[in-house]
Chains A and B, each alone.
Chain A
């Protein structure tokens, strides 16, 4: 039996909560009774170094435990990575790339568009949203609202993501509410 799996690769820098982002996707998917395997790549763990994390999701039980090399979806949390690494490497034909940027017309974002005209490119200013709603330019939660929107809530639903955030930040005061505001804003502000 060959199983239909959605593979997500997240790019960010050490300290930006990329791992947490992949975990949140997994936690939300599990709340919808999906099957998941989500994990970071680890090298020498340095703040600021480019890192990736993965989330593999399916409606059916699967057993594969490799890293993700040919993702269906790529999420770029840190726009400065666009000029440093090939974020579209292995991205499936007709896949989706979601980029955190304050200006979709910037050369490095446009370069992605030119390189991969086949993929759906979505942008959201997650840094601004995170700064205004959370008080920190940590985009790992903020960008996930946009993911829900651009995938028509098919991978994870916005309200389920809210529950996952509530679970993760349980007992941590206003952080939960701030993050929920942030994902709702990125959900409505993302542009394709």
Chain B
């Protein structure tokens, strides 16, 4: 099929249209707005069978999603930044209630100061919530990962909500070519309607989301922990199934030019495209550098990460996110704790960059590389550094 020209938001809306969810409850917020607008067009035009719940806030959006999901529905929503903050109380309940809601996030900086541009800190706040959390580098990936998210989340071994992030504006409002799939393919891939065993059914009454005190709270949380662990295999299997159908390869942790690399960038989302371009330029100058792209952030695929980095001498972890007062980045903490167990721990340099959508050019990625290598050559890890901040 020939490619369609779509923005990242549009790609996600088109993907959701093919999924044809039972319920969508969402509230518009820049830069996610186009997803909700497009999808409401599909509803108005009768192109989907979805019940669209026009809610008055994100808190209500996630609440409506949980209600629909516990009734056995296939459910989709979308948000960003301040919207996620408002829904955050209910975000926790979505995972503990084991509702496989799919939430597309057009990653945007958190207020304040108020800013509408790309940054992943918003979605990284999902880190401890029990959600499966993924990032896309391109509009094609956003399209594919949105569809796959339903299969992963709804798998009976998983039953967890899934977040799929795209960088605000850099992807959400950018046109790229996307190779579409058919509704039939998606329907076959998902196995028809959602099959829910744990749901609110008047003929088989159960309660969901009750009070757990000292007696059972810990066991309930442990079940989410176990579901996160089990989801790893389901994610890998789902990516493989998708590859069989479309030819497009997906892995939780991906690499580029890593086989003979001495050094490697580690990053997530659209920045991986610039890192990849920097790798090409550095390689043209004889540098043995590669790239590791974290597609699935939660659950963390530590073994896969360790395998890819086992011969790497220095890691350059670069993230469009920040955590005040932390010893390093958010992604960086996972990277470091994984490397702690390595037989030979590589050097590491950690960078925060691009907050509030600030651009980071390919030549800056090569500068980040050169700065890091200089430190490594002096036998040092580099202290955590915010790239490009004016003093």
Contact = CB atoms under 8 A, between A and B. Distances in A.
A2 B277 CA distance: 8
B175 A64 contact: no
A66 interface: yes
Given A30-B3, A66-B359, A69-B361, A38 B277 contact: no
Contacts of B137: 63
A27 interface: yes
Nearest to A168: B5
A66 B276 CA distance: 12
B254 interface: no
A1 B174 contact: no
A64 B281 contact: no
A43 to B, nearest CB: 9
A40 B2 CA distance: 25
Nearest to B173: A39
Nearest to A22: B175
Given A2-B284, A39-B170, A66-B362, A26 B175 contact: yes
A1 B283 CA distance: 9
Interface string B158-197: 0000000001011101111100000000000000000000
Interface in A15-37: 19, 22-23, 26-27, 30, 33, 35-37
Interface in A80-120: none
Given A2-B281, A36-B175, A42-B116, 13 more contacts: A1-B280, A22-B175, A23-B5, A26-B176, A27-B175, A39-B7, A42-B31, A63-B272, A63-B273, A63-B274, A64-B273, A64-B277, A65-B270
A27 B4 CA distance: 8
Interface string B127-142: 0000000000100000
B71 interface: no
A67 B364 CA distance: 13
A23 B274 contact: no
A65 B273 contact: yes
Contacts of B171: 65
A25 to B, nearest CB: 9
A-B pairs, 4 with minimum CB distance: A39-B174, A63-B273, A27-B5, A26-B175
B360 to A, nearest CB: 7
A76 B150 CA distance: 44
A96 B209 CA distance: 63
A38 B175 contact: yes
A37 B360 contact: no
7 contacts: A26-B5, A33-B2, A36-B177, A38-B175, A39-B170, A62-B277, A65-B273
Contacts of A65: 167, 170-171, 174, 270-271, 273-274
Interface string B319-340: 0000000000000000000000
